[in-house]
Amino acid sequence: MTVPFTAGDLVVYPTHGVGRILVIEAQEIAGQSLNVIVVHFEKDRMTLRVPLMKAQRSGLRRLSSRKEMDIALATLRGRSRAKRTMWSRRAQEYQAKIASGDPVSIAEVVRDLYRNTGQPEQSYSERQIYQAALDRLVREFAAVERIDELTATQRVEQLLAA
């Protein structure tokens, strides 16, 4: 079986965002020998072991290309498509988009929940979801562009305010 990743690669795990592969190794788990990809998420101080056989199905993927990231960032410039449905249903949809790990979907959440200075205040849960989406998008954007997260955040917010 060919391994699409190597130690040191930056990868995206849908529910945790950007991490770095520490090692791909065989581990004994419950009496079974299993090849696992060990991914470390610096920001969350967390290490995840993904069985090699399930890496694809779990959604583990390479960082977006510059072109894919440009498409996601272009989404930020679009019009908010926030539906007029109940907040609880919208919140579930937003959470699912963030958990998908897809940069375009995450950018849609950021765009839809972004509030300009003159707009009404967000609820606590709206701010929480917005911040989660923004953090996820910024981390991948920063990794793709090889810039720090503060600079990436400023660039994203400039696109939103434009």
DSSP H or E segment with residue 39: strand 32-41
Q: What is the CATH topology of the domain spanning 66-161? A: Methane Monooxygenase Hydroxylase; Chain G, domain 1 (1.20.58)
pLDDT in tens, the chain (162 residues): 566 789 999 999 988 999 999 999 998 888 889 899 999 998 889 999 999 888 888 989 999 999 999 999 999 988 887 778 899 999 999 999 999 999 999 999 999 999 876 777 888 999 999 999 999 999 999 999 999 999 999 999 999 988
Which whole-number Å values give the CA distances from 149 to 13, 80, 96, 144, 155, in the listed order? 18, 24, 24, 11, 10
Token pair, residue 58, equals 């779990």
Compute how many other C-beta atoms are within 10 angstroms of the C-beta atom of residue 76. 20
DSSP H or E segment with residue 12: strand 10-13
**Single pTM value for the model:** 0.88
The structure tokens 């923004």 sit at: 134
CATH assignment of 10-62?
2.40.10.170
What are the structural domain ranges in the chain? 10-62, 66-161
